[in-house]
Amino acid sequence: MDTAQLVERGSSIADRLTTTQAAPPSWLVLGAAAVALLLVTYRPLWRLTRNVVTIAHEGGHALVALLTGRRLNSITLHSDTSGLTVSSGKPYGFGMVLTALAGYPAPPLIGLGFAALLGANRITLMLWIAIAALAAMLIMVRNVYGVLSVFLTGALVFGVSWFGSDTLQAGFAYLATWLLLFAGSRPVLELQRTRSRLRDGTTDADQLARLTRLPGLLWVLVFGAIALAALVIGAGLLLSATAGICLPIPQGGACPAT
C-alpha cells in the first residue's frame, strides 16, 4: 500500500468515524452471538478468551483509579489469566471502594457501551474506541506477557478496522461485544468458587468486604446483578430492529412492517 492509498484509507476511516454504517443482516448478529457463547462456555476456548476479559477487568480498575484521583502505578497480566492493577492513594475511602469495585463490572459494562454504539450503527467508532483504550492501557502494562496480550489484541482490532471489509468489521464488532456481555457472569461464578475454596481474603469481593464492612457474598451478588443487567439490556440493543429483528414492545405497540 503506497502513501496515496494510506492517505485515502485514513480519510475513509475518519469519515466513517463521524457517520453511521449500514446495519448488518440478522444472520451475522445471531451468528456472532452463537460464536461468542461458545467461546465463553467451552472450557478450552474460554481459557484463551478469558485473557480478553482480564484486559477489560484490569482496565476497569485502572480507569476508575485515575477518575477518583489515585495514582496509577502499574498493570500486570499473567498467562494464567489473572491480573493485578496497582495504584497509590488512601487505602480506604470512597475512591478505594470504587477502584476495588470496578474490575468485575468492567467487561459487561464495556460490552453494554459497545452495544449502544452498534445499536446506533457506529461500527467503526466502536472499533476505534477499543483501539484507543488498548493503546492507553499499554502504556501502564509492566510485564512482557501483559504487553504482548494488549498489543496483539489491539493489533487484531486495528487490522480488522483498517483492512477488513464492511462485513468482516461488523462481524468482528458484534462478536467482541457479545463476548464481553456473555463473559460478564462466568468470572463472577469463578470468583465465588475461589472464595469458597481458598478463603484467603485476597479477592476483590473480600477487599470490598474489608473496606465497607459488608459481606463479601453481597459484593459477589452485586457483580452478578450488574453482569446480568448489562447482558439483558445489551442484547436488546444488539437484537433491535436495526439488525432486522423486532423485539416485543411492552406498551402494546406493533412491530414495523418489513
The four Cα atoms 133, 136, 142, 148 give a dihedral, to 10 degrees, of 60
Q: Which residue has the higher pLDDT, 4 or 68?
A: 68
The one-letter amino acid code at 42 reads Y
- Report if residue 118 sits inside a domain: yes
Kindly report, residue by residue over 113-136, the tens digit of the pLDDT. 999 999 999 999 999 999 999 999
pLDDT band at 242 (very low <50, low <70, confident <90, very high): low
Helices 106-119 and 166-182, packing angle to 10 deg? 140
- Report if residue 40 sits inside a domain: yes
- Report if residue 122 sits inside a domain: yes
Domain count, the chain: 1
pLDDT confidence of residue 15: 80
Kindly report, residue by residue over 23-48, the tens digit of the pLDDT. 899 999 999 999 999 999 999 999 99
E-assigned strand segments in 198-242: none
Q: What is the mean pLDDT of the chain?
A: 90
Q: What's the rounded mean pLDDT across residues 230-237? A: 96
pLDDT band at 253 (very low <50, low <70, confident <90, very high): very low
- Report if residue 192 sits inside a domain: yes
Cell of 206: 473480600
Q: How many CB atoms lie within 10 A of CB 120?
A: 16
| Secondary structure of residue 51 in the 3-state scheme | helix
For the residues of 100-140, what is the DSSP string, one character each?
HHSTTTHHHHHHHHHHHHHHTT-HHHHHHHHHHHHHHHHTT
pLDDT confidence of residue 252: 43
Q: What's the rounded mean pLDDT across residues 210-217? A: 94
Of the chain, the percentage scoring pLDDT greater than 90 comes to: 79
What's the rounded Cα separation, in Å, for the pair 55 and 153?
A: 9
- Report if residue 7 sits inside a domain: no
Q: What's the rounded mean pLDDT across residues 185-208? A: 89
Q: What's the rounded mean pLDDT across residues 201-218? A: 93
Tell me if the pTM is above 0.75. Answer: yes
- 142 alpha-carbon distance from chain centroid: 21
- Report if residue 195 sits inside a domain: yes
Q: What's the rounded mean pLDDT across residues 39-64? A: 96
What's the rounded Cα separation, in Å, for the pair 205 and 192?
A: 9
What's the full length of the chain, in residues?
A: 258
251: pLDDT strictly greater than 50: no
Angle at 212 between CA 90 and CA 71, to 5 degrees: 25
Of the chain, the percentage scoring pLDDT greater than 70 comes to: 90
- Report if residue 141 sits inside a domain: yes
103 and 61 Cβ atoms separated by less than 8 Å? yes
- Report if residue 37 sits inside a domain: yes
130 is in which domain, residue-wise? 24-241
178: pLDDT strictly greater than 50: yes
